Amino acid sequence: MKILLLGGSSFLGRAYAAEALARGHQVTTFNRGRSAADLPGVEAVRGDRDSAEDLARLVDGRSWDAVVDTSARQPAQTALSARLLRERAGHYSLVSSVHAYADWGGQVITEDSALLPCPADTPPDQPFGRELKAGCERAVLEGFGPERSLILNSGLLIGPHEIGGRLPWWLERMARGGRVLAPGDPGRTMQVIDVRDFAAFGLDRLTAGTAGRFLTTAPPGALTFGEWLETCREVAGATDTELVWVEEARLLAEGPDRVEPWLELPFWAPDLPDWANIWQVDSGRARAAGLRCRPFAETARDTWEWLRTRGPAEDTDADGRKPVPGSTFRQGIEPDKEQRLLAAFG
Q: Where are the domains of the chain?
A: 2-154, 163-191+220-279+295-345
Count of alpha carbons within 13 angstroms of residue 97, beta-carbon side: 22
**Domain 2-154 - what CATH class?**
alpha beta
Residue by residue, pLDDT tens for the chain (346 residues) are: 999 999 999 999 999 999 999 999 999 999 999 989 999 999 999 999 999 999 999 999 999 999 999 999 999 999 999 999 999 999 999 999 999 999 998 899 999 999 999 999 898 877 778 999 999 999 999 999 999 999 999 999 999 999 888 999 999 999 999 999 999 999 999 999 999 999 999 999 999 999 999 999 999 999 999 999 999 999 999 989 999 999 999 999 989 899 999 999 999 999 888 888 899 999 999 999 999 999 999 999 999 999 999 876 655 666 566 665 554 567 899 999 999 999 998 7
pTM metric for this prediction: 0.94
State whether residue 238 is helix, strand or coil. coil
In total, the chain counts a number of residues equal to 346
Distances (CA, A) of 167 to 232, 234, 306, 331: 8, 14, 12, 10
Cβ-contact 189, 221 below 8 angstroms: yes
